[in-house]
Amino acid sequence: MQKSDMLNHARTVLRDNDRGTYTVPTHGLYPFQWNWDSALSALGFSHFDEARAWTEIDTLMAHQWDDGMVPHIIFHEPDDGYFPGPDVWGTDRPTPTSGITQPPVAGFAVRRIHDRATDRDLADRMARTLVPKIHAWHQWFYRCRDPQGTGLVALLHPWESGRDNSADWDEAFARVPTDGVGTFTRRDTTHANPAHRPTDDQYKRYIWLVQKFRSLDWDNRKLHDASPFQVVDPGFNAILIRSCADLADLAEVLNLPDIATQSRALADKALAAMDTLWSDAAGQYLCLDRRLGALVPSLSIGGILAAFAPLPLNRVQALSARIETLAQSCTYLVPSHDPTTPEFEGLRYWRGPVWLIVNYMIADGLIRAGEGAMAERIMQDCARLIVKSGFAEYHDPITAEPCGGAHFTWTAAMIIEIFSTRDLVS
């Protein structure tokens, strides 16, 4: 496939999933606006329609809660093809939203889009509007998800991680009860192969947590301590740190010194705390189960995605070596779970498949640390997957089988982002 064919195809995916002011991840399976999908999709739009890229993030931030939280789903239009819908969340918003958040990649995306914008007036205007809102979201994280001031934030629901059914959560999730959940009908398994999705048992626990938080009126001053699930994810924290650091840089450029100083302080404190998640034995970062006060010995991509943060270079170089080890047990980098472990499932969502968005963020971090060869290899694998199996939501790291939803927005956005800057396909 020619590079131009691939880019044209990717743009068609974005246009087909464009609903005017926001983009759905894919038709059917995900019929609303998702938080980190939007921020990463905006990167793709920015290469051929800068105004549309800004609108994507502007729409997302328009639904920020008064306390600073930015929800993980915005239910712009009714659609009963998705469960759990607004009636289950019960967040009582003018436009219904979920009540939990998602990886805060918007700060990184806004800085990157601003840096390379050709319409400088529009970029400055939009960045000036968005930076204070994103900063309020970052402050919300450290206030509400790190009440003890450790420097690292906890996830209260696996859906917040974006890595919904990762093996990282198995032990902590087993402590989430299922009593009182009642019966419900999943819709995801009517759009996607059930073998590619989380299990029914996991869904019951997902819904138990939603009901628990709803019973507390979605009051973020109470949710952290009340949740039986409190997991500190290195990948999630790395995204937050990177966004804080990028926001600090952007705020300096925009002459917003208070935001610059505060964002830098948040990033620096968190960076120092990240080292408590490092495991020499694993050769990567690990999750912390905050309820138990113990690291989780689960070899997932969350501990490798940490490379996205401005970590000490020796740590990122060690992560590159860890990826080299993973390459010996798969065909396409980077598997979302170590293929040599019993938890690995090549087709099941975040228990093995490759996700282009994570590859992109890891590669970005590797380049900063002088690991360009490994970054290039990862991006080559992204290209090989798409050539072989199309713009799927995720792919089996051994067979390249396309999994989950098809015609997927952020997969296409990553191809545009990667291919607009390098020559990978001939």
Q: Mind telling me the catalytic residues?
A: 164, 393
Kindly give the interhelix angle for 3-16 and 409-419, rounded to the nearest 10 degrees: 140
CB of 77 to ligand DGY, least distance (A): 16
Residue 41 or 320 having the CB closest to ligand DGY: 41
State which residue, 248 or 413, has the beta carbon closest to ligand DGY: 413
For residue 56, state whether it binds ligand DGY (rule: CB under 6 A).
no
* 188 in contact with ligand DGY (CB under 6 A): yes
Which are the contacts of 371, defined by CB distance < 8 A and separation ≥ 6? 316, 317, 320
Which of 18, 56, 146, 164 lies at the binding interface for ligand DGY (CB under 6 A)?
164
Nearer to ligand DGY, 72 or 377 (CB): 72
Backbone angles phi, psi at 40, to 5 degrees: -75, -30
In this structure, what token pair is assigned to residue 27?
């038709």
**Shortest distance, CB of residue 50 to ligand DGY, whole angstroms?**
28
Q: Give me the residue label for tokens 């650091």.
A: 245
Strand ranges across the sheet with 231-232 = 231-232, 287-289, 294-296
The helix-helix angle for 372-389 and 313-327 (nearest 10°) equals: 40
Give me the phi and psi of 403, to 5 degrees please: -130, 160
Minimum CB distance to ligand DGY, residue 187 (Å): 9
Find how far residue 234's CA is from the centre of its chain. 12
**Residues of 298-335 as b/e, b for ≥16 C-beta within 10 angstroms?**
bbbbbbbbbbbbbbeeebbbbbbebbeebbeebbbbbb
Site for ligand DGY (CB under 6 A): which residue of 140, 141, 159, 203? 159
CA distance 13 to 25: 10
For 204-279, strand residue ranges (E) read 231-232, 278-279
- Closer to ligand DGY by CB, 29 or 296: give it: 29
Query: Is residue 393 a contact residue for ligand DGY (CB under 6 A)?
Result: no
Nearer to ligand DGY, 35 or 320 (CB): 35
- Minimum distance of ligand DGY from residue 164's CB (angstroms): 5
User: How near is the Cβ of 72 to ligand DGY at its closest, in Å?
Assistant: 6
Residue with smaller CB distance to ligand DGY, 6 or 176? 176
Is residue 97 within 8 A of residue 67, CB to CB? The reply is: no
CB of 238 to ligand DGY, least distance (A): 20
Among 11, 72, 157, 191, binds ligand DGY (CB under 6 A): 72
Evaluate whether 336 touches 354 at the Cβ level (below 8 Å). Answer: yes
Q: Is residue 43 within 8 Å of 113, Cβ to Cβ?
A: yes
Run of H or E residues at 73: strand 73-74
Sign of CA dihedral 140, 142, 146, 149: negative
* CA 158 to mean position of chain CA atoms: 12
Report the residue closest to ligand DGY, judged by CB. Answer: 159
Nearer to ligand DGY, 98 or 263 (CB): 98
- Which helix (H) or strand (E) is 287 found in, with range? strand 287-289
Q: How far is the CB of 188 from ligand DGY (least distance, A)?
A: 6
Min dist CB 168 to ligand DGY, Å, is 15
**In one letter, which amino acid is 138?**
H
Q: Which is nearer to ligand DGY, 11 or 196 (CB)?
A: 196
Query: With contact defined as beta carbons under 8 Å apart, do 228 and 103 qualify?
Result: no
Binding site for ligand DGY (CB under 6 A): 72, 159, 164, 188
